[in-house]
Amino acid sequence: MTFGSRLAAAMDERGPLCLGIDPHPGLLDSWGLPDDADGLAAFADTTLAAFTGVGAAIKPQSAFFERHGSRGIAVLERLLADARSAGVLTILDVKRGDIGSTMAAYAEAYLMDGSPLAADAITVSPYLGAGSLEPAFELAARTDRGLFVLCLTSNPEGPSVQHARLADEAVAAGVARAVGERNAAAPRLGSVGLVLGATIGSAVRELDIDLTAVRGPLLAPGIGAQGATATELAEVFGDARSQVLASTSRGVLWHGPDGAALRDAAEQARADVKAALRG
């Protein structure tokens, strides 16, 4: 099965929710864990156990593992392997973007069968030009994995690039169009999606982006701690709501380290987004 097909099935079965695993220093401290590889390992084990079976996917943030060097990367490798064994889809948040052989090497690191860091999908940045991602597009298609391409982000600096106009369309609209072309033959949900912040307000309408034409999943970070509510999802994404995979991290993670409390918070988040997107 393609990544898009696997994700669509998981969204139908377990809800359109992606649960972030972001072991940043403040969370480790609030959980009473040391800010080192041992703390990371405990955090990863607890979150995976709590989130398995809740939501369609998990999304580890690679940076918080990378900051601990090789031992942190080893924890990330084990988390990805354990999730795979548990049947949990993984979206590794790495936001890689480069050119030529360097982009090909990044693709092999995260999308190649047998790679220690292989995930079901990764996030990538198209802002060296969407064509620079070709090695990742090709390898993801070959290994039935997925990509989530940054389109409209919630940081205040984003619009200076993403809203800029080239010829007759905004840069972000061109990214969305290119992704839609990749998914043109997909029967339901393509394997190449977009990242659109849940707090972007009216940007999709203002930039005249047809999200239904993307024919892929729309990863929407920003639920909970970043301020977006489940109700805003319906307002931002309109007719493309069925494609949205809502993502929450700190809004749920602050309920740790108790595993039962984490699971309860994840299940409540799932109920909220399901009501907004599928209700």
C-alpha 80/C-alpha 100 separation (Å) is 27
Q: Please check whether residue 243 is in contact with residue 188, taking contact to mean a CB–CB distance below 8 angstroms.
A: no
C-alpha 53/C-alpha 98 separation (Å) is 35
Q: Is 123 helix (H, G, I), strand (E, B) or coil?
A: strand
Closest listed residue to residue 145, CA positions, set 135, 131, 157, 155: 135
Peptide bond into 34 cis (omega under 30): no
Residue 142 contacts by C-beta under 8 Å, 6 or more apart in sequence? none
- What does the block give as tokens for 11? 């969204």
Q: Is-catalytic flag, 59?
A: no
Q: Please check whether residue 105 is in contact with residue 76, taking contact to mean a CB–CB distance below 8 angstroms.
A: no
Q: Is 147 helix (H, G, I), strand (E, B) or coil?
A: strand
Among candidate residues 24, 84, 95, 163, the one labeled active-site is 95
Helix (H) or strand (E) holding 70: helix 69-85
- What does the block give as tokens for 213? 């034409």
For 143, counting Cβ atoms within 10 Å of its Cβ (0-12 exposed, 13-18 middle, 19+ buried), the class is middle
Helix (H) or strand (E) holding 263: helix 259-277
- What does the block give as tokens for 192? 């190449």
Q: Please check whether residue 236 is in contact with residue 196, taking contact to mean a CB–CB distance below 8 angstroms.
A: yes
Task: List the catalytic residues.
Answer: 95
